[in-house]
């Protein structure tokens, strides 16, 4: 029998540097080999064969393949249902231990539980670590030892707890000789996965100190070319380390940027502690709202043909590049829930299909915030005015014209709903729903 291996199951942590699970595997004393599984359950649910996330994954898995080849090793890549893949891997390799990093989504937690049990039955150790969050689960709790459900006190505690200790890198590079020495497996292609390339470059995985210097002033203005970092796809798939990024923000004393990273942790822990948010309103009384759910209106919103230029610009940016500026995500989401009275879950699912940075916890948190049903909701009677938002955050319509060039032409549609009427209708509908409880 050959020497037992340590397998590192990479998922949302596609990097060889500063990776907790990989570090513990490299220190395990067994030869180490990374594994990536293209989850068939997730890929089969995607109805568009042009998908930026799959394209990014293929690109990044091949990058790991090349980096590992230089170290005399390789990455095992499989396509299938994770539990079936693990059954096959157990038959193919002599496995001593499996290492992986935590994932807070309901599906992932169930999957990991099942695989942990399968491995335990075969006498294989399953070791999991925190990696994608700075603080997770019960690391930032209120004085009563309960999870925070409001961001501001959470962020205060988060920042007070954030010593350099939590931002230390895992020095995987010190153990580069511990990879299993083997021939490289063949590289993979998008076509192997049944997908086609979108063919646009992805944003860089670095943030400049200059951006961090100006972030506080620029971040709300979608027309500015580098108003935000565009790192979300890298944070989503772990091609950048959250600890390195937070260290950089801390060194630049950029409290606003750190605050955004704190929102990310906040929503991870909300999802982990309150898994009902995947299906229901965080505040269950909001499930009493009688949504209008008009399909034609939903289609207009999806296509960016509402007649509200800032909403249309945002939706077309999303449809075209798979990313939308945060300020505009808030405006478009609010418009769907409040102006059109369409269930936030419809909008959440549409963003889920289109966003290259789609992340269940942040997307759900953002949508529930916009619907008013979430942790940090503004009072329901505060309804964003899309015209006023555009005047404030895109005063010269530069962003609008980029995505809606026909905005001043007669062909551009009139607003699909009157703002004052829609605002009052939303307030009345919410009031009625909340009066029931």
C-alpha to C-alpha distance for 388 and 124, rounded to whole angstroms: 59
User: x/- binding map, residues 291-330, to ligand FAD, per CB under 6 A?
Assistant: -----------------------------------x--xx
Per CB under 6 A, which of residues 17..46 are in contact with ligand FAD? none
Q: Is 357 an interacting residue with respect to ligand FAD (CB under 6 A)? A: yes
Q: Is 362 an interacting residue with respect to ligand FAD (CB under 6 A)? A: yes
Nearer Cβ to ligand FAD, position 86 or 257? 257
Q: In the set 54, 355, 390, 422, which binds ligand FAD (CB under 6 A)?
A: 355
112 is in an annotated binding site: no
Q: In the set 370, 383, 390, 416, which binds ligand FAD (CB under 6 A)?
A: 370
Q: Is 158 an interacting residue with respect to ligand FAD (CB under 6 A)? A: no
18 is in an annotated binding site: no
Whether 260 is catalytic: yes
CB of 164 to ligand FAD, least distance (A): 20
231 is in an annotated binding site: yes
CB of 249 to ligand FAD, least distance (A): 9
255 is in an annotated binding site: no
CB of 378 to ligand FAD, least distance (A): 12
Task: Catalytic residue, from 86, 301, 344, 346: name it.
Answer: 344
Per CB under 6 A, which of residues 232..261 are in contact with ligand FAD? 232, 235-236, 260-261
Whether 19 is catalytic: no
229 is in an annotated binding site: yes
Q: In the set 74, 149, 172, 228, which binds ligand FAD (CB under 6 A)?
A: 228
CB of 93 to ligand FAD, least distance (A): 34
358 is in an annotated binding site: yes
Stretch that binds ligand FAD, among 57-65, 177-185, 362-370, 396-404 (CB under 6 A): 362-370
Annotated binding site for FAD: 215, 228-232, 257, 260-267, 357-359
Interface residues with ligand FAD (CB under 6 A)? 219, 228-232, 235-236, 260-261, 263-264, 267, 326, 329-330, 333, 351, 355, 357-359, 362-363, 365-367, 370
């Amino acid at each position: 029998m050959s020497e037992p291996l340590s397998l590192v199951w990479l998922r949302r942590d596609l990097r060889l540097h500063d990776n907790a699970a990989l570090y513990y595997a490299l220190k395990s004393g067994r030869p180490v080999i990374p594994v990536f599984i293209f989850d068939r359950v997730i890929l089969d649910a995607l109805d568009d064969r042009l998908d930026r996330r799959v394209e990014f994954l293929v690109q990044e898995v091949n990058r790991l393949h090349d980096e590992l080849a230089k170290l005399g090793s390789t990455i095992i890549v499989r396509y299938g249902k994770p539990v079936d893949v693990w059954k096959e891997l157990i038959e193919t390799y002599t496995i001593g231990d499996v290492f992986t990093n935590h994932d807070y989504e309901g599906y992932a937690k169930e999957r990991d539980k099942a695989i942990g049990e399968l491995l335990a039955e075969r006498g294989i150790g399953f070791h999991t670590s925190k990696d994608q969050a700075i603080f997770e689960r019960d690391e930032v709790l209120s004085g009563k030892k309960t999870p925070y459900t409001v961001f501001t006190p959470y962020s205060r505690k988060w920042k007070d707890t954030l010593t350099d200790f939590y931002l230390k890198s895992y020095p995987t590079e010190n153990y580069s000789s511990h990879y299993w020495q083997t021939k490289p497996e063949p590289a993979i292609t998008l076509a192997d996965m049944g997908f086609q390339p979108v063919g646009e470059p992805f944003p860089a995985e670095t943030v400049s100190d200059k951006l961090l210097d100006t972030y506080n002033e620029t971040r709300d203005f979608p027309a500015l070319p580098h108003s935000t970092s565009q790192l979300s796809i890298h944070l989503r798939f772990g091609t950048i380390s959250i600890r390195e990024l937070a260290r950089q923000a801390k060194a630049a004393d950029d409290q606003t940027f750190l605050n955004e990273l704190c929102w990310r942790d906040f929503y991870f822990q909300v999802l982990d502690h309150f898994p009902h948010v995947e299906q229901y309103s965080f505040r269950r009384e909001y499930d009493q709202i009688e949504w209008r759910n008009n399909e034609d209106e939903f289609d207009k919103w999806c296509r960016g043909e509402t007649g509200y230029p800032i909403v249309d610009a945002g939706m077309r940016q999303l449809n075209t590049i798979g990313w939308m500026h945060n300020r505009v995500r808030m405006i478009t989401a609010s418009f769907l829930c409040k102006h059109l009275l369409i269930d936030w879950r419809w909008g959440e699912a549409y963003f889920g299909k289109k966003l290259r940075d789609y992340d269940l916890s942040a997307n759900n948190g953002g949508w529930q915030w916009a619907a008013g049903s979430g942790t940090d909701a503004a009072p329901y009677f505060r309804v964003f005015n899309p015209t006023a938002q555009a005047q404030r955050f895109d005063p010269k319509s530069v962003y609008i014209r980029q995505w809606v060039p026909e905005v001043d032409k007669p062909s551009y549609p009139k607003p699909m709903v009157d703002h004052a009427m829609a605002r009052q209708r939303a307030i009345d509908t919410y009031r009625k729903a909340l009066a029931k409880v």
